[in-house]
Amino acid sequence: MTLQSSGIGRVLSQNLHLSSDETHEREKAEEADRASYRRNYWQGYTKKIKRIFGTVTPAEYQAVKSRADETERSVWGQVWAEAQAYNNGRNLASGEIADQQRLLIAELRRIGNNLNQLARLGHIQNRKHGSIKATDDAITADAMLQLAKLEEAVTKFDDGVAIRVQQQD
């Protein structure tokens, strides 16, 4: 009596690949390489990054936490910002001033984006027509309007420094 492999058995035997000693050794070597890489990475990481630990009283923690909540930072972010401000000899903005600074930065970014678009449009028109028209051009007027908005946004902070944009005649 001869045994013939059924359809399922034949498919399984054809698709079943037993790993050889060579494959097993290669996989062991690859895993050893990965382990070595991870070990070297973390040993180098500890040389680049240092952890700082400290202890504060509950009252001190609450004071830092309340300042962090005002400025929408994490507690560690607040400690880091205060340390950097102290190190650089600057005051750290908090509360309403920090909110106003965030709004000012957002406004400055929008105005800068508009000015870049105007400059790009001016360059495109320069290539098309050979030169930009006189100062009564719509692009120039729009640029001056953007600069006036910039002046208004920047001078909201009365820190004794007046910034004025002079209009060209």
Q: How far is CA 83 from the centre of its chain?
A: 21
In angstroms, the CA 92 to CA 48 distance is: 27
Q: What is the pLDDT along the chain (169 residues), one digit of tens a residue?
A: 445 556 666 666 666 656 677 888 888 899 999 999 988 888 877 677 777 888 999 999 999 999 888 878 899 988 998 898 888 888 877 667 777 778 888 888 888 888 888 888 877 877 777 765 554 567 677 777 777 777 776 666 655 444 454 555 5
In whole angstroms, give the CA distance from residue 164 to residue 169: 15
Pinpoint the alpha helices (H) of the chain.
7-15, 21-48, 58-70, 75-88, 96-129, 138-154
What pTM does this model have? 0.39
Which residues 6+ apart lie within 8 Å of 85 measured at CB?
A: 91, 92
pLDDT attached to residue 52: 81
